[in-house]
Amino acid sequence: GAVVSQHPSWVICKSGTSVKIECRSLDFQATTMFWYRQFPKQSLMLMATSNEGSKATYEQGVEKDKFLINHASLTLSTLTVTSAHPEDSSFYICSATDVTQAYNSPLHFGNGTRLTVT
């Protein structure tokens, strides 16, 4: 079945540094990828939607200059947390789908990245 690989699975960084998280679709073309943020015992919160080859669409309240999203190919999207602060510590999850398939096809999720900013 379809697999979405997310890397790294966890990362610890110092405040003020930048961190890049990769999301890859391994056996299908991900025309659209989504980035979520999840705090403990909370639901997934959509941060942005990215379509291959175009600029990402950010949800209200998400700083596009802080959370840089690149979707340069049909199999790779990256999220870069710039100038990270402790409040950016969270669980970041990506998901991917091929919108050329059925509208109700499964949405495949990565296994998430636990970011801790010290």
Query: Does 100 sit near another protein (CB under 8 A)?
Result: no
Q: How far apart are CA 98 and CA 12, in angstroms?
A: 32
Which amino acid belongs to residue 18?
Answer: S
Query: Does 67 sit near another protein (CB under 8 A)?
Result: no
The secondary structure of residue 82, as a DSSP letter, is: -
Q: How far apart are CA 35 and CA 98, in angstroms?
A: 15
Query: Does 8 sit near another protein (CB under 8 A)?
Result: no
Q: How far is the CB of 2 from another protein (least distance, A)?
A: 10
Query: Does 41 sit near another protein (CB under 8 A)?
Result: yes
Query: Does 60 sit near another protein (CB under 8 A)?
Result: no
CA-based max dimension of the chain: 43
Query: Does 98 sit near another protein (CB under 8 A)?
Result: no
**Token pair 């950016």: residue:** 88
Query: Does 71 sit near another protein (CB under 8 A)?
Result: no
Q: How far apart are CA 13 and CA 99, in angstroms?
A: 35
Spatial contact of 98 and 106, defined as CB atoms under 8 Å apart: no
In the complex with another protein, which residue's Cβ is closer, 2 or 82?
2
Residues forming the site for another protein (CB under 8 A): 4, 6, 32, 34, 41-46, 49, 57, 91, 93, 95, 97, 99, 103-112, 114
